[in-house]
Amino acid sequence: MKEQKIIHDSVHGSISVKGVFLDLIQTAEFQRLHDIKQLGLAYLVFPGAHQTRLEHSLGTYHVAKLMSESLALDEQAAERIMCAALLHDIGHAPFSHTLEWFLKDQFGFTHEELTANIIIGKESILPEGDRALIGGSPTIPEVLEKHHVNPKEVAKLVVGDGSEVHPEQTLLSGKRKLRYGDMRYPFQMIHGPVDCDQMDYLMRDSHYTGVAYGIIDRDRLLSMLRIRNGDLVVESGGIPAVEGMLVARALMYTSVYFHRTVRITELMLAKAAEKMGRKEMDSARKQNDSGFIAALRGHDDFSKKLLTSLKYRRLYKTALVWKLSDMGERQIGMLKGLCSYREKVAVEESICKRAGVPQGTVVVDVPGEEILMSEPRLASVNIGILENNRVKPLSRVSPLASALQLRKVQDWVLLVACPPEFRADVKKAAEKVLSGR
């Protein structure tokens, strides 16, 4: 009889793991996720938000298993999809999405690309020397190959075929770049408008933050899924459940993921990391949260001061907020330039100089670019609805879905923050610098 373990999860209840999945969760790469917070520094705003990427990965695997059973997939196809679901976040840096934009600028790849390279054995996410210290545990590709699962096939489900790293997955748009053999549904189960990743993180993040907006009807959604012409679609009876999930996703982004104070804490951590050299950061990004903080704290006095401020919740405060309606043509042009992380840093330094405040004490937030990186599915509501043996896009049968596609996650397009004692001076300086005066 094969060994099996039951893991008790606070969201889904009992999760059964055995075979390749049991071996995968015992790898060092997967266990590293024990100390990477799912929501980064959001616990400074939502005190219960201490859930980890490991919990989320297990939950995503469990939903993928339920989804595969509901769709009656064959064992081999289900196994590949469940492996991809379990491993889809192993490339995350410390504090999850908090440093994503910064690290993309530094190293030129996203956590999905890194995850795929870890799965095929091209990259390592463990700090140098750790594997030797724990006795040379098997790598992820070694575990997959031992169980006759092709690592390349699993990696393909994480990022697609390489033509688009962050596709907007619209099921009926005619865009057929991302394939899995002749079928698209395996990729859509991992990265589609209705996928196992979103189902878990909405339920899990709602549970831990105490924000009720993330509640979804998981069982109804799963029971209404079908495969039609190679795509994952939803029977018309599942429209209310799909609408509920889309509403939950939109509200959780507004209320939790892009909460203003959460954003400020993330910007403070990224600012503390900016002074690290590329080689130092390449080592630090492979740590878990506590290891990263230790590396950063010992780097310089500025980083240590910022980390101490975060530790005791002495946070920067908003000095300036611009909504789209507040902006003229010149400001909109400036905003486009700030989509480059390095340009953003240059503007922050200019504001500091003009305000006469210490360098590093101003952070500028332009969330549009990070929304695209952290959640490319956010505007995707074009889900296939199966009705009377025909498939229609959800937007044609649901005015609510169409409205959500136009809804903005946050009510600002630019935010400037700084220590509270500098707010008046920084506000004046920021208005001049950002207006080109």
For 60-101, write each residue's pLDDT tens digit.
999 999 999 999 999 999 999 999 999 999 999 999 888 888
In this structure, the answer to whether residues 240 and 375 fall within a common structural domain is yes
Give the residue-averaged pLDDT of 380-391. 84
363, 268 contact by CB (below 8 A): yes
In this structure, the answer to whether residues 330 and 239 fall within a common structural domain is no
* Domain-located, residue 164: yes
Distance in angstroms (rounded) separating the CA atoms of residues 362 and 261 = 15
In this structure, the answer to whether residues 234 and 333 fall within a common structural domain is no
pTM of the entire predicted model: 0.90
In this structure, the answer to whether residues 215 and 122 fall within a common structural domain is yes
Residue 232, number of CB atoms within 10 A of its CB: 25
For 105-116, write each residue's pLDDT tens digit.
888 888 889 999
Is the pLDDT at 352 greater than 80? The verdict is yes
Distance in angstroms (rounded) separating the CA atoms of residues 112 and 194 = 18
Q: How far is CA 91 from CA 69, 376, 420, in A?
A: 27, 17, 36
Contacts of 10 (CB under 8 A, 6+ apart): 55, 207
For 161-191, write each residue's pLDDT tens digit.
433 333 333 343 333 344 444 688 999 999 8
pLDDT given at position 377: 53
In this structure, the answer to whether residues 20 and 128 fall within a common structural domain is yes
β-bridge partners, 183? 180
Q: Would you place residue 437 in the very low, low, confident or very high pLDDT band (cuts 50, 70, 90)?
A: low
Contacts of 277 (CB under 8 A, 6+ apart): none
Kindly report the average pLDDT of the chain as a whole number: 88
Q: Tokens 């899924």 label which residue?
A: 225
Is the pLDDT at 327 greater than 80? The verdict is no
pLDDT given at position 340: 82
Residue 233 — φ and ψ, nearest 5°?
-130, 170
In this structure, the answer to whether residues 421 and 396 fall within a common structural domain is no
CATH number of the domain within which 76 lies: 1.10.3210.10
Token digits for 434?
């950002």
* Domain-located, residue 333: yes
In this structure, the answer to whether residues 186 and 206 fall within a common structural domain is yes
* Domain-located, residue 172: yes
Radius of gyration of the chain, Cα coordinates, nearest whole angstrom: 22
pLDDT given at position 381: 65
Is the pLDDT at 376 greater than 80? The verdict is no
* Domain-located, residue 340: yes
Token digits for 119?
């799965």
248-257, 342-351, 404-413: least confident range: 404-413
The helix (run of H) or strand (run of E) holding residue 353 is helix 341-355
In this structure, the answer to whether residues 62 and 21 fall within a common structural domain is yes
- Provide the domain count of the chain: 2
In this structure, the answer to whether residues 76 and 173 fall within a common structural domain is yes
Task: Note down the domain range covering 232.
Answer: 4-259+371-406
For 269-301, write each residue's pLDDT tens digit.
999 998 888 888 889 899 999 999 999 988 889
264, 318 contact by CB (below 8 A): yes
pLDDT given at position 373: 47
In this structure, the answer to whether residues 180 and 76 fall within a common structural domain is yes
DSSP 163: S
* Domain-located, residue 22: yes
pLDDT given at position 192: 85
- 3-state helix/strand/coil string of 327-351: CCHHHHHHHHHCCCHHHHHHHHHHH
Token digits for 360?
């590093």
Q: Tokens 């990259």 label which residue?
A: 123
Q: Would you place residue 51 in the very low, low, confident or very high pLDDT band (cuts 50, 70, 90)?
A: very high
- 3-state helix/strand/coil string of 86-139: HHCCCCCCCCHHHHHHHHHHHHCCCHHHHHHHHHCCCCCCCCCCHHHHCCCCCC
Helix, strand, or coil (residue 389): coil
pLDDT given at position 166: 31
* Domain-located, residue 301: no
Task: Decide the pairing of beta strands 231-235 and 225-228.
Answer: antiparallel
Give the residue-averaged pLDDT of 393-421. 85
In this structure, the answer to whether residues 245 and 323 fall within a common structural domain is no
Is the pLDDT at 396 greater than 80? The verdict is yes
Percent of the chain with pLDDT over 70: 90
More confident call, 251 vs 324:
251
More confident call, 299 vs 364:
364
Is the pLDDT at 261 greater than 60? The verdict is yes
In this structure, the answer to whether residues 324 and 179 fall within a common structural domain is no
Token digits for 419?
């220590």
* Domain-located, residue 390: yes
For 131-169, write each residue's pLDDT tens digit.
888 887 899 999 999 999 999 999 999 986 433 333 333
For 3-32, write each residue's pLDDT tens digit.
899 999 999 999 999 999 999 999 999 999
pLDDT given at position 275: 85
* Domain-located, residue 105: yes
